Structure 1
């Protein structure tokens, strides 16, 4: 009796009669379910809902398991949230400087035909008006008042920091005579980080380029030429407070300093007064207020008696009693900077 697995007519010619050769193309159930195209059932074909087509196309997610779909949905939601919050969250204001550099103007105040010493070296400032104060008292900050965006306490801290800068840069003997790095280190700690490179370069290699004059940051005399005749410096001036913007305070200062000087190496030499006017514009944002530091934006210095054309970037160059008459300025001398300014000093 024939094998029930064989066709009644026998095995077709060329066939083996065995299903083993088809096992390599038989698909399991998971493969069939994952197919993008599926054959319609008999009921679906009779219903006619799919027109003449005998197959249906499955959606792109039809082959994914529920777990995979849930994971994909979570990833999409997380990405959408990241994009939304990244676009809608306001970015914090940068605490670093915007790149502005200190701009310096140096003006030599030229005397008349001769520079005369003070009448009494023991009281060199006797002829000054009573409005001049001694040292730090002359740069004392005014009473603080709140501004539109800063409290009275914040303004007070800003004024105190500016006062420290003025005191360290124009009254410290170590700074005035360049006798040590301690004074300049104190001054350096009061500067915003963005200006430190400019400050260091100005002190290391001073230049009359309107940005790297050491005397734009501080008052400094050449100790090989002049010496302080005493520890007292007379000061008079004023300070103003404004806002550069809603997050930045602007402090303006304008002070005149009077120094008693004598020739270096002559303790009993004649004493001459040297006058220096310094006008600054400082800016302090909230990070600067918290760190007690300033950004020096503009610096203007007038100093005299000084010879017109003197190189003032490294040190101030006062004319002392008995100095030679100021030299004339030669406009054809291109070795000197063209922006050197001079003005007559009121005697």
Structure 2
């Protein structure tokens, strides 16, 4: 009986009667997909709307062999990436690059006494002669309640005001800063983009409008000056504004009054009342608010009684009163034609001095 796999007429001459000899030419799916032509479908053949039995296959170059699902996924990813780039670039609320490098501008003004500097009448109560409106320490800062602005919530504004208040306490009221030379507490408030500028101001203070340490904080030379009272009298206010839609701005304007005496002087020594006005401009973006740090962008300081001939970049240099008063130092003449002297270095006359 014949092999059931053979045709009825028998195996062709020279053949084995099975498919073994054709296995080398079997077309796999990848070969079919890569074919240059495609056969028309049954519906296309029945419709008669064709000119030939085959249609040319659209050539997609390297993508021609990519499965349709993978190609669709690739196109979806490209569209999503393009949309993300477009909205990221065009969004008005996107975070701009954060400022780096020198940003603080400092103006220092010495207030020369108009007459002899006399000690406070009562060393135990050196602030007795101050006009009304001054309070002790942080109370005198007059920190307002936080109110929402166009782009910042009440909570964000309140947090900025709290940061400013704590900075002013650390930089203008803390004895460790005023007379002991400490700077770390103040530096902790400074945003990383300004810390290099702050550090340069500490290590090499110079009145170049950017690196005066007294633009960042109030301090006296402990080798020359000591505090004669534990309290500092303060009067002033704060203003809330926006520099732009992503930057909150707070401006402070305060007068601080310090009771000073010569370093090492005993109790009962003559006390000098030193007056310092600080007008500061702070800026916050939302990263600053989250980290409770600030950018100090402008600082104007007036201090007196002080000599006009001594730099105030590293320490404030008060004219201390002697028992019978100290004659005022003569202010230098200013020659507008002398370009060797910086134009921003100015001196005023202390009212009531």
User: TM (normalized to structure 1)?
Assistant: 0.78
- Assess if the C-alpha contact under 8 Å between 2:100 and 2:194 holds in 1: no
- Alignment-derived partner of residue 169 in structure 1: 171
1:111 positional shift = 0.8
1:185 positional shift = 1.7
- Assess if the C-alpha contact under 8 Å between 1:95 and 1:285 holds in 2: no
1:328 positional shift = 2.2
Q: How does 1:22-41 map to 2 (within 5 A)?
A: 34=34, 36=36
* Aligned partner (choices 312, 319, 325) of residue 329 of structure 2: 325
- Alignment-derived partner of residue 124 in structure 1: 126
Q: How does 1:105-144 map to 2 (within 5 A)?
A: 105-144=107-146
Whole-angstrom distance in 2 between the partners of 1:62 and 1:292: 57
1:172 positional shift = 0.6
Matched, 1:275 2:275: yes
Helix, strand or coil at the partner of 1:269: coil
Residue segments in structure 2 that go unaligned for 5+ positions in a row: 1-12, 14-23, 39-44
Matched, 1:315 2:315: yes
- Assess if the C-alpha contact under 8 Å between 1:109 and 1:306 holds in 2: yes
- Assess if the C-alpha contact under 8 Å between 2:234 and 2:256 holds in 1: yes
- Alignment-derived partner of residue 350 in structure 2: 345
1:35 positional shift = 5.4
Whole-angstrom distance in 2 between the partners of 1:63 and 1:291: 51
- Assess if the C-alpha contact under 8 Å between 1:34 and 1:62 holds in 2: no
- Alignment-derived partner of residue 217 in structure 1: 216
| Cα 1:78–1:305 shift into 2, 3 Å | same
- Alignment-derived partner of residue 75 in structure 1: 74
- Alignment-derived partner of residue 13 in structure 1: none
- Assess if the C-alpha contact under 8 Å between 1:192 and 1:288 holds in 2: yes
| Cα 1:212–1:62 shift into 2, 3 Å | closer
Whole-angstrom distance in 2 between the partners of 1:65 and 1:101: 57
| Cα 1:67–1:93 shift into 2, 3 Å | closer
- Alignment-derived partner of residue 6 in structure 2: none
| Cα 1:68–1:339 shift into 2, 3 Å | same
Whole-angstrom distance in 2 between the partners of 1:63 and 1:324: 89
CA RMSD of aligned residues (A): 3.4
Whole-angstrom distance in 2 between the partners of 1:61 and 1:27: 26
- Assess if the C-alpha contact under 8 Å between 2:227 and 2:261 holds in 1: yes
- Assess if the C-alpha contact under 8 Å between 1:124 and 1:271 holds in 2: yes
**Residues 109-147 of structure 1: CA distance to partner in whole angstroms, max 9, x if unpaired?**
111142111111111111001211111111141233332
Helix, strand or coil at the partner of 1:281: strand
- Alignment-derived partner of residue 298 in structure 1: 298
| Cα 1:245–1:310 shift into 2, 3 Å | same
- Assess if the C-alpha contact under 8 Å between 1:165 and 1:190 holds in 2: yes
Residue segments in structure 1 that go unaligned for 5+ positions in a row: 6-25, 39-43
**Residues 39-82 of structure 1: CA distance to partner in whole angstroms, max 9, x if unpaired?**
xxxxx9xx9x769xxx9854315998876344333323322222
Whole-angstrom distance in 2 between the partners of 1:188 and 1:313: 17
Whole-angstrom distance in 1 between the partners of 2:134 and 2:103: 32
Whole-angstrom distance in 2 between the partners of 1:215 and 1:122: 28
| Cα 1:244–1:99 shift into 2, 3 Å | farther
Whole-angstrom distance in 2 between the partners of 1:128 and 1:324: 21
1:277 positional shift = 0.4
How many aligned residue pairs are there? 314
Helix, strand or coil at the partner of 2:281: strand
Whole-angstrom distance in 2 between the partners of 1:164 and 1:32: 76
Whole-angstrom distance in 1 between the partners of 2:338 and 2:158: 48
Helix, strand or coil at the partner of 2:235: strand
User: TM (normalized to structure 2)?
Assistant: 0.77
